[in-house]
Amino acid sequence: MTLLQAFVLGLVQGLTEFIPVSSSGHLVLVPHLLGWHFPKEQAFVFDVLVQMGTLVAVLVYYRQDLTAITTAFLRGLARRQPFAEADARMGWWLILATLPAVVIGLLCKDLVEQAFASPKMTGVFLLCTAGLLLIAELTGRRSRTLKEIGWKDSLWIGFSQALALLPGVSRSGATLAGGMTRHLDRPSAARFSFLMSVPVMIGAGVLAVKDLLGLHNVSEFLPPLLVGFLTAMISGYIAIRWLISYLSRHSLHVFAGYCAVLGLAILFLL
């Protein structure tokens, strides 16, 4: 992998991780369309570790929220009143929302890696993302804020997130749809989606580091990995700021349309 390829893929990752059009799907499609061929193990490790760049973007953008949640969570444990404060409860809801994707991801790791090798399946799952976004817009009443979220909402959104283990199913799209079908307004659903990405990305990164250490040419792979990481971090931060502003005034229809057109084009061309 060259530095230019790493830059392009990092940019794709950063811009599409939070915008609901599937970063994993684009990371499969872009190399395929450009004729780039990477070893299967190297490509999978790169995709997951470059996501750590977008993790840093979330940590920076939501640093105040995450600090307040972590402080209240630990204070609640120390006082043996884990659900006394709203921020402490939010910490528990984020943990609960993380569990489905972690369990399913560990059980189906090999199947997920195989799915990432199939551009055609990416087209199918992009159509699924379009469907999820349309369902969210049609059924969600958008009458609740993040202050009203409970454990049932968290678990529902968590299972929605597990769908994003498949390439072409947008993680942000699935979790946005999950929140909106529980009648959260769009900005609240997006905020919860971005916050709950933190533990999942950390867990995926830890597993990818293990795979990275098993590669034969680790030293040669580090420079492009660093380029991809930095590019994804910067572009990811920009994408978060833009999307939060956009969702306060607009629907998800444009993203559903994009995913549908792209998915159909892939199936037609392949």
- List the domain boundaries for the chain: 3-269
pLDDT of residue 112: 67
User: In 28-184, which ranges are E strands?
Assistant: none
- The predicted-structure confidence for 72-119, as pLDDT tens digits, reads as follows 999 999 999 999 899 999 999 999 999 998 888 777 766 666 666 667
- In the numeric block, which tokens belong to residue 91? 């910490």
* pTM, to two decimals: 0.84
Q: Judge whether 134 and 255 are in contact, CB under 8 Å.
A: no
pLDDT of residue 177: 95
Residue 11: closest CA among 34, 27, 22? 27
- The predicted-structure confidence for 124-150, as pLDDT tens digits, reads as follows 889 999 999 999 999 988 889 988 999
CA distances to 49, 126, 239, 257, 261 from 188, in Å: 27, 24, 17, 22, 27
- The predicted-structure confidence for 189-247, as pLDDT tens digits, reads as follows 999 999 998 887 787 777 767 766 666 666 677 788 889 889 999 999 999 999 999 99
pLDDT of residue 62: 94
Residue whose entry in the numeric block shows the structure tokens 């994003």: 164
- What DSSP state is assigned to residue 118? -
**Non-local CB neighbours of 256 within 8 Å, separated by 6+ positions:** 129, 130, 131, 133, 134, 137
Mean pLDDT in the chain? 87
Residues 144-181: b if buried by 16+ CB within 10 A, e if exposed: bebeebeeebbbbbbebbbbbbbbbbbbbbbbbbbbbb
Question: How would you class 207 by CB atoms within 10 Å of its CB: exposed for 0-12, middle for 13-18, buried for 19 or more?
Answer: middle
Residue 98: closest CA among 157, 20, 13, 22? 157
Partners of 144 in the β-ladder:
184
Taking the C-alpha atoms of residue 127 and residue 116, their distance in angstroms, rounded to an integer, is: 16
